[in-house]
Structure 1
Amino acid sequence: MILCAGESLIDMVPEAGAFRPLAGGSVYNTAIALGRLGEPVAYLWPISRDGFGDILLRPLAEAGVDTGLCPRSDRLTTLAVVSLRDGEARYSFYDEGSAGRMLAPEDIPALPDHIQAIFAGGISLVPDPCGAAIESLIGRNHAGLPVMLDPNIRPFFITDPAAYRARLDRLLAMSDIVKLSSDDLEWLFPDLAPEEAAQQVLAAGPRIVLQTGGASGARAIWAGGAVTAPAIRTTVADTIGAGDTFNAGVLASLRRQGLLSKAALARISADQLQAALALGAQAAAITVSRPGANPPWAHEMPA
């Protein structure tokens, strides 16, 4: 079972001159996508007892995501007000003192034996105490479990860039797979070309660096070189949840290929990476074809 640890929130999405509340959050979306793809998945993040908490729990249950590790909280749910510009999503966060924001390192439980891998990232890495809690989770478990990290960097959410970069440095050293968009790489290494930036990340410790660039497709860089997968042509409704779904497709493929262990990832082949990128691209193409973070179910995926 894959454990997804990181933010859930309510996306307030523009609709007919008002806002429609939709369950979302980078890591939450990946958990939902994994469950819809038929993968065994658990989720770890505080869920508020407010009305929005019920909205968040419903899709998790429908997708078969195990929420046994999620503490319930009387604090409020984080809200992200979404604006769309040429189909691209932009966010304003209402997060101070929220249920997720106040997750602390001492709240992190011991993981059950059936957890095979950890996926983490998103804005949950930025503020404390929740950022320290996710770092603690990875620090306690990375020696035995493979870790995939997607920082999904939102510069406007980062109030202390130096502290955030220091945390990312520590997390990269403990991660096996790191996914970075072209925007992420530009923020991390503004003076380097994407290929050089990816090599810098690889040198920090991960075995595999995944690069995504929307219509330009996806690329994996590892000790064996690089492989690519083209983006799949589709009519784009919006990009909400696209990268999160891509992550789920990659993880699903790796698990189905028997590669979710540190030993297996150490000997991964180009063909195996190509298959993982392809499934990620297929899943993401369905998500962007419809509004909001609405990942595909297994029966919607190409045979």
Structure 2
Amino acid sequence: MILCCGEALIDMVPVEGGACFRPLPGGAVYNSAVALGRLGAPAGFLWPLSRDPFAAMLRAPLAEAGVAINLCPEVDRPTTLAFVTLTGGEARYDFYDDGTAGRLFSPADLPPALPDSVEALLIGGISLVPDPCGATVEALAAREAGNCPIFLDPNVRAFFIADAAAHRARLMRLIRLAAIVKLSADDLAWLWPGRQVLECVAEVLSRGPSLVLTTDGANGATAHRRQGAITVPSMPVTVADTIGAGDTFNAGVMAGLHRLGALSHGRIADLHRDDLTEALSLGVRAAAICVSRPGANPPWAEEI
């Protein structure tokens, strides 16, 4: 099972020219969990879920995709809301997060141990920014790094980060724990402003990860290893919006690595070039379908 630990929230997406908002389940790591399940990979989700009506909206897609939620604490605090603004198809967010179910995720909410079925841990997104939830996810990653590979997607939202230095320090600690790190063009620009992509990738690889994935929208995606790089071009589609694109890409790559047995058998570093290309291509195809329709709506396996 690929266990996803990170934010679950409600995206309030504009409709009718922005005069009204439609509530849709979302959150970077939540989207990846749903996408993994839809792609047929065994997936689990770990994040506090409220008892409010919005949480019922979050549970339904997880159940439909077959994602296990038995590790999720159930709490009385409200669900996080994110109001979305779309500009040229690009999504920007305003978060209402203080005192919410996820924001107050604490180490006491973690299970004493993860099930033996967990073969990888996927973390990232805004769940890493504030405390106590950010410290809780970091503590889980530190505890489990020796037990299973960790996939880290910083998914930086600069406007949500009050203390940039503290968040950079946390991400650098997490990079040292991770086996796979995904970095978008926006992530690279925030983490290492003014530096070239390959220079940044080399620095990440020097910190310990076996694989660095870089994405750049229409320019496709690249998998970087110490042995070299592999690039898969993007698929031509008409973009509805980019909500959930990177999250779905992450799920596609992880689903591909699961199918290859690369996660549970520690084969990430020495995967054959063709196998890595196959996993990367699955991520690109899944993301292309996601951006072709409104909202975070990852594809099912039969759509790939």
Q: TM-score range by the shorter chain?
A: over 0.9
Gaps of 5+ in 2: none
Query: Which residue of structure 1 lines up, in the alignment, with residue 232 of structure 2?
Result: 229
What TM-score, normalized by structure 1, do the two folds share? 0.98
Query: Which residue of structure 1 lines up, in the alignment, with residue 221 of structure 2?
Result: 218
What TM-score, normalized by structure 2, do the two folds share? 0.98
3-state secondary structure, aligned to 2:285: helix
Q: Which runs of 4+ in 1 moved over 2 A?
A: none
Within 2, Cα distance between the matches of 1:202 and 1:240?
28
Query: Which residue of structure 2 lines up, in the alignment, with residue 249 of structure 1?
Result: 252
Which residue, out of 188, 194, 202, partners 1:191?
Answer: 194
Query: Bigger CA drift: 90-99 or 269-278?
Result: 269-278
Contact persistence 1:9–1:23 (CA under 8 A): yes
Gaps of 5+ in 1: none
Counterpart of 1:181, as a letter, is S
Within 1, Cα distance between the matches of 2:266 and 2:290?
32
Query: Bigger CA drift: 265-274 or 129-138?
Result: 265-274
Identity of aligned residues (%): 60
| Aligned-CA RMSD value | 0.8
Query: Which residue of structure 1 lines up, in the alignment, with residue 266 of structure 2?
Result: 263
Within 2, Cα distance between the matches of 1:190 and 1:203?
19
Contact persistence 2:81–2:97 (CA under 8 A): yes
1:111-150 Cα shifts (integer Å, max 9, x gaps): 0111111000000000000001100111111112011000
- Matches of residues 83-94 of structure 1 in structure 2 within 5 Å? 83-94=85-96
Shift of 1:167: 0.6
Aligned residues: 301
Query: Which residue of structure 2 lines up, in the alignment, with residue 31 of structure 1?
Result: 33
1:76-100 Cα shifts (integer Å, max 9, x gaps): 1000000000000000000011000
Contact persistence 1:4–1:28 (CA under 8 A): yes
Counterpart of 1:177, as a letter, is I
- Matches of residues 95-244 of structure 1 in structure 2 within 5 Å? 95-109=97-111, 110-244=113-247
Query: Which residue of structure 2 lines up, in the alignment, with residue 286 of structure 1?
Result: 289
Counterpart of 2:133, as a letter, is C
Contact persistence 2:211–2:269 (CA under 8 A): no
Within 2, Cα distance between the matches of 1:43 and 1:65?
7
Counterpart of 2:6, as a letter, is G
Counterpart of 2:213, as a letter, is L
Query: Which residue of structure 2 lines up, in the alignment, with residue 51 of structure 1?
Result: 53
Within 1, Cα distance between the matches of 2:286 and 2:274?
19
Shift of 1:200: 1.2
3-state secondary structure, aligned to 1:266: coil
